[in-house]
Amino acid sequence: MYDRSFDELRTGFTAAVSHELRTPLARILALLDSADLPGADVHALIDQAKGEVENAGALIDEILFLSELESGKEIVSLGHTPALPVLREVVEELGNAAERAGVTLSLEGDETVEVPLRPRMLAVLGENLAENAIRYAGHGSRFTFDVRRAREFAVLTASDDGAGVDEANISRLFERFYRADAARTSRGTGLGLAIVKHVVAAAGGDIEADGGPGRGLRIRCTFPA
């Protein structure tokens, strides 16, 4: 039986991918054209073009990764993993990027709590959550991973006390390629939180977000223990 809704979803995704890739490519062409102008700082323009190439490469990598998640080729859940040790590694790896952005990363919770994710998938989840705060929370903010047990569930909360998100945009945070107006100048791909949502859902968990302007952002991932 022909599934029109799936075909429309695939067409929409293809159009979104094409649009997102067109932006860095257009910037690269503009930078290269500028290099021919009299008095142009060729080395600076080439460096900027390299940055756009890296941005396009990161976008392609995340598109392919999300595609593998959705097709089931990438296994998300295989046994249980203690959460805090993996998240501690994420915090250490992103320390320099956080320092440059003026964001403090911290970690707290129960060392015995495990989540139904492979270590690599847990690291992917943690990296995307922390990178989202590093990009958007704002200078002087604090981001915290908190892992707790709540009855028969394992709860991983990622929260910051930064700029926050308009309440009208909260429900759209996990959409592919969605970026709020204030975030459109960032080099983020717009796929990070979509990947987070898919990883959580594939492991049988639920995800929710809340916050508001000036009240930061909190993302709560609840897994069956």
Query: Is the model's pLDDT at 120 over the cut of 50?
Result: yes
Higher pLDDT, 182 or 195: 195
SS3 content of the chain, % helix, strand, coil (to 5): 50, 20, 30
Higher pLDDT, 215 or 72: 215
**If we measure between CA atoms, which residue out of 48, 74, 61, 50 comes closest to residue 21?**
61
pLDDT of 127-172, one tens digit each?
Answer: 999 999 999 999 999 999 999 999 899 999 999 999 998 888 888 8
Helix (H, G, I), strand (E, B) or coil at 155: strand
Which domains, from first to last, does the chain contain? Answer: 4-71 (1.10.287.130), 81-224 (3.30.565.10)
What mean pLDDT do residues 206-219 have? 93
CA atoms lying within 13 Å on the CB side of residue 4: 0
Query: Is the model's pLDDT at 9 over the cut of 70?
Result: no
What per-residue confidence (pLDDT) applies to 135?
92
Alpha-carbon Rg for the chain, nearest whole angstrom, is 19
Give CA torsion, residues 32, 33, 35, 40, to 10 deg: -140
pLDDT of 31-82, one tens digit each?
Answer: 888 888 888 888 888 888 888 777 777 667 666 666 666 656 555 666 899 9
**Residue found by looking up tokens 């930078």 in the block:** 31
The CA distances from residue 210 to 2, 46, 133, 216, 219, in Å, are 38, 41, 14, 9, 7
Query: Is the model's pLDDT at 225 over the cut of 70?
Result: yes
What per-residue confidence (pLDDT) applies to 3?
46
Distance separating the N- and C-terminal Cα atoms of the chain: 38
pLDDT of 81-116, one tens digit each?
Answer: 999 999 999 999 999 999 999 999 999 999 999 999
Give the chain's mean pLDDT.
81
Residue type, 29: L
- pTM (2 d.p.): 0.69
Higher pLDDT, 182 or 95: 95
